[in-house]
Structure 1
Amino acid sequence: MDNLTDPLAGLDDVPWKSLHHAYGPAVDVPDQLRALRSAEVPVRREALSALFGNVYHQGTRWGASCHVVPFLVALADDPDTPDRAAVADLLRSVVLGDRRDDELPFDPRRAFAAAEGITDKQAALVERHLEAEDLFDHEEVAELADGVAVRWEADAFHAGARHTDRYVRWLTDPDPQLAGYAAELLAWFAPDEAALAGLIAVPDDEAHAATRASANLTLGHCPVSSEPIDACLHQLLAAKAEVVRVTAAVGLAYRLGDQLPDQALDILTDARTSDSDADVPGWDRSVPGFVALALHRLGLG
């Protein structure tokens, strides 16, 4: 991003007073987003915690949540923002909620089917009664609440889907945590040519091992048939870093099933008895967990 560009440009143009989060009108959100740029660590931590509670409250998204997404993307994209990986972590939570890798490949149409037909007017009605704490006194409105909650999830997801070009750019960021988060984020959106090229191109060296491992898992979950993906993962079976070799084998197991090459199966079998408990940035499941799941898919777990 051009350093002359303000990542929070347009923040005051959003009608925060008419948007709601977990605790009412989202009037406090602009200052919380601004505080993520503070030079003071306690200020940033407090703002991050407040935003988690407001727009991602125990996994629930709200009407304001989707409006936060483009600003979080812009903040994480700006090298002058402190703690960019922490911002990306919040972004992931707002866009995806508590979804885990067992929902991959992700089908948003199926996941958000309950939101179909929910109107802005209905969502606003539910928000008003939630704020008044009398939702369950109005049966017809209460019946809308679940559909409206899914509508808010869908809005946040689609807001995140508009920025996959940024996530691809983060794959080359020197911060391995941010780059790893970016690779995992890309697993949730329909793969395009740029995303696949970026994931394949992540270097296989010590500095990029964590990012490469995250990219391997994303490629493994990719729902498209692709010789370049399979060739990339096969080549990485010989990588120096164990976490890269193992995640490449996991990815191939997911993609090839019983056509898995012996080299990959040997890596998975050895990894099953390894003492390694490595995690990969952006993924909730540990590497041993992925190994166990891959072997289970092969009928060996």
Structure 2
Amino acid sequence: MDQPTDPLAGLDDVPWESLHHAYGPAVDVPDQLRALRSVDVSVRRRALSELFGNVYHQGTRWGASCHVVPFLVALVDDPDTPDRAAVVDLFRSVVLGDRRDDKLPFDPRRTFAAAEGITDEQAALVERHLEAEDLFEHEEAAELADKVAVRWDADAFHAGARHINRYVGWLTDPDPQLAGYAAELLAWFASDEAALAGLIAVPGDDVRAATRASANLTLGHCPVGSERIDARLSELLSANTAVVRVTAAVALAYRRGDQLPDLALDVLTDARSSDFDADVPGWDRSVRGFVALGLHRLGLG
């Protein structure tokens, strides 16, 4: 019988003392990651808050941020980890920052162009002066600071891009919040066949409605040429659950424009005139906001 694996195996092999977060050397990060497994709810919440402040401070990532990514993935993978959806929320923030859906489709090469050529030594120089709170007294470090911040951003994103297969696996998790986050994560990375198949396969029933709605919105941002996507979204226009129907119509409006099926237009206009609204896991905008955007793309907003 296979022995259970430790999701935090290798944690002490990372040179945390030479990595920095928002408040200095990242020596406290290992214990904060371990505390996410605590049986004490207050301990877990405090660790989560501390990690948000350290490696995702007001949207900024740091040199240590990319190094927490594989451990957060492993924690989410382990069903014995408590509050896994909350861990995914932290993970999403570390990997993607404050980006919203208006940045989709996402082009990492263009977004992170300013980080090209930034060396580890230059990043370390900026970190030292940030920690000493004298950054703007040193011209070289001050001039590098913005580009180094982009480098940390890029490092965190690319660390997340190494785990796409895990997000596909999370799509089937029984926790709809976690699975919904997984579907939204897949909108930011180049979709492979496994990701596309996983997003299409999410059931449209009431139990999985939140995950299905998130998958619909992600499919709306996939390359427009897949007939399988359009067929699945069209099928979901007749789903029993409103959030599934409406997000399918939004996704089709994004993909088809003025070639939108009549039923999809009916769903969107009905949603606009009703009091219906909902939040979809992983997405900052409410469904009403997406409806408005979908109609705007059709020239009806």
Normalised by the shorter chain, which TM-score bucket? Answer: over 0.9
2:71 alignment partner in structure 1: 71
Instruction: For 2:211, give the aligned amino acid.
Output: T
Deviation at 1:3, TM superposition (A): 6.8
Sequence identity, in percent? 86
Q: What TM-score comes out, normalization by structure 1 length?
A: 0.99
**Post-superposition shift, 1:178?**
0.2
Aligned partner letter, 2:175: D
Contact 1:279-1:287 within 8 A present in 2 as well: yes
Deviations 1:132-162 (A, max 9, x none): 1111001111000000000000000000000
Q: Corresponding residue for 1:275?
A: 275
Q: What are the ranges of 5 or more consecutive residues in structure 1 without an aligned counterpart?
A: none
**Which stretch shifts more, 5-14 or 223-232?**
223-232
Q: Distance in 1 between matches of 2:204 and 2:57?
A: 38
Q: How far apart are 1:223 and its partner, in Å? A: 2.6
Tell whether 2:247 aligns with 1:238: no
CA RMSD of superposed structures (Å): 0.8
Helix, strand or coil: the match of 1:127?
A: helix
Letter in 2 for 1:19: L
Partner SS, residue 238 of structure 1:
coil
Match of 2:119 in 1: 119
- Given that residues 224 and 255 in structure 2 are in contact (C-alpha distance below 8 angstroms), is that contact kept between their aligned partners in structure 1? no
| Aligned residue type for 1:172 | T
| SS across alignment from 2:142 | helix
CA distance in 1, matches of 2:224, 2:240: 28
Q: Map of 1:1-301 to 2, 5 A cutoff?
A: 4-301=4-301
> 1:114 and 1:198 mapped to 2: Cα distance?
34
* 1: CA distance, partners of 2:257 / 2:68: 40
Separation in 1, partners of 2:200, 2:207: 16
Distance in 2 (CA, whole Å) between partners of 1:188 and 1:249 is: 21
Please report how far the alpha carbon of residue 224 of structure 1 lies from its aligned counterpart in structure 2 after TM superposition: 4.4
Aligned length: 300
- Aligned partner of 2:275: which letter? D
Which string of whole-angstrom CA distances, capped at 9 and with x for unpartnered residues, describes residues 205-247 of structure 1? 1110000000000000113410000100000001000000000
- Post-superposition, which runs of at least 4 consecutive aligned residues in structure 1 deviate over 4 A? none
1:245-290 per-residue CA deviation (whole Å, 9 max, x = no partner) reads 0000000000000000100000000000121220100000000000
Distance 1:211 1:248 in 2: 12
Q: Is the 8 A contact 1:105 1:223 kept in 2?
A: no
Equivalent AA in structure 2 for residue 154 of structure 1: A
